[in-house]
Amino acid sequence: MPELPEVQTVVSDLNEKIIGDTITAFWSEWPKAIKCKTLAVFTKEIVGRKILGVRRIGKNIFIDLSGNKTLYLHLKMTGHLLIKTTSQELSSSQGKAGQELSSKGGKDYFADKVNQYIRHKWTLKTKNHPPRLAETRLDSTRCLIKSKRATARRCEAGKLKTIEFSDVRKFAKIVLDDTDKIAQLPEIKSLGVDAISAEFILTKFNKILDRKAKSPIGIILMDQHLIAGIGNIYRSEILFEAGILPTRKAGTVSITERKKLFQMIEKIMQKAIKLRGTSDSDYRDTAGAPGGFQKIMKMYRHDGKKCPKCGTIIMRDTIGQRAVFFCPSCQK
């Protein structure tokens, strides 16, 4: 399942690629993913709205739209969003849509099998870039800038942009609600503090551990109602770096260990964001490309291999119904 670093990568990509665009159409082959609305009502309510901004809490994505509406997406197990831009001429011939942005590093990632399970698609009209004030003041080069702007606008006008939601398992969730009501949705209201937010500070972390003193630390880290964003991939990596066994009860974790654990949450999350997440299975970024964290992972799915620190064989256990990986020597 995509965790905080993967979702943050998607949110950053969306903010870079679709802000200011207007939704002109929506298509779905799996309307069951749309909660509390029929496909017809959802489509009617979303078409014509401008994309204002994209944000995240834990693993939940919020796309704020004009007219006080927010599109809330949860990628669940296998969902990922692909942003495709192409010329309208190309889009008319099936299969070629998305050609332009798909070639990242010379490889057509959109053609990968993992990106072929398109269940929903938003068509966007690209924004018109207004003339920037700074540019209009540059009198001597105004003509040049004007002509550049005109070219840029012509290019934009000729583009067709889509957000395509690939989801092989079909567990992903789509919600459209009033922006000022999203925070009151039960699943959002019950979320714990986001693992990389400014509100997540050591004293808050200590309070969580004190409140859950009898719970295994491996469960606390993954409990979205306590700390939002960490799943079973990153909990193994975080606990290894902190030197703490996943089965340790929170109440037995010392002040020094808690501090280290808190620091490792930040360190691992930021490192994974920098590497654009982990693609051990279905997760891909909006260009269809895999993340890079799986290349440097030390514990997750490394059972039977030697610990990179001490050489002891890495073990696998199940905590909170999910697999956890640890070194029985390095972690106490």
Q: Between 72 and 240, whose beta carbon lies closer to Zn ion?
A: 240
330 binds Zn ion (CB under 5 A): yes
Closest distance between Zn ion and the C-beta of residue 242, in Å?
13
Q: Between 86 and 236, whose beta carbon lies closer to Zn ion?
A: 236
Closest distance between Zn ion and the C-beta of residue 220, in Å?
22
307 binds Zn ion (CB under 5 A): yes
Interface with Zn ion (CB under 5 A), residue from 38, 151, 190, 329: 329
Q: Between 54 and 297, whose beta carbon lies closer to Zn ion?
A: 297
Stated length of the chain: 332
Interface with Zn ion (CB under 5 A), residue from 138, 152, 157, 310: 310
Q: Between 57 and 244, whose beta carbon lies closer to Zn ion?
A: 244
Closest distance between Zn ion and the C-beta of residue 311, in Å?
7
Q: Between 201 and 310, whose beta carbon lies closer to Zn ion?
A: 310
The CA dihedral of 194, 200, 203, 209, to the nearest 10 degrees, is 20
Encode burial over 91-125: b for 16+ CB neighbours within 10 A, e otherwise: beeeeebbbebbeeeeeebbeeebbebbbbbbbbb
How many chain residues are in contact with Zn ion, going by CB under 5 A? Answer: 7
- With contacts defined by CB under 5 A, name the span among 134-142, 199-207, 280-288, 320-328 that binds Zn ion: 320-328
Closest distance between Zn ion and the C-beta of residue 247, in Å?
16
- With contacts defined by CB under 5 A, name the span among 7-15, 49-57, 116-124, 306-314 that binds Zn ion: 306-314
313 binds Zn ion (CB under 5 A): no
Interface with Zn ion (CB under 5 A), residue from 149, 309, 316, 322: 309
- With contacts defined by CB under 5 A, name the span among 17-25, 108-116, 133-141, 308-316 that binds Zn ion: 308-316
Closest distance between Zn ion and the C-beta of residue 260, in Å?
16
Q: Between 26 and 325, whose beta carbon lies closer to Zn ion?
A: 325
Give residue 308's identity as a one-letter amino acid code.
Answer: P
Q: Between 169 and 306, whose beta carbon lies closer to Zn ion?
A: 306
Q: Between 128 and 312, whose beta carbon lies closer to Zn ion?
A: 312
Provide the binding-site residues for Zn ion, judged by CB under 5 A. 307, 309-310, 312, 327, 329-330
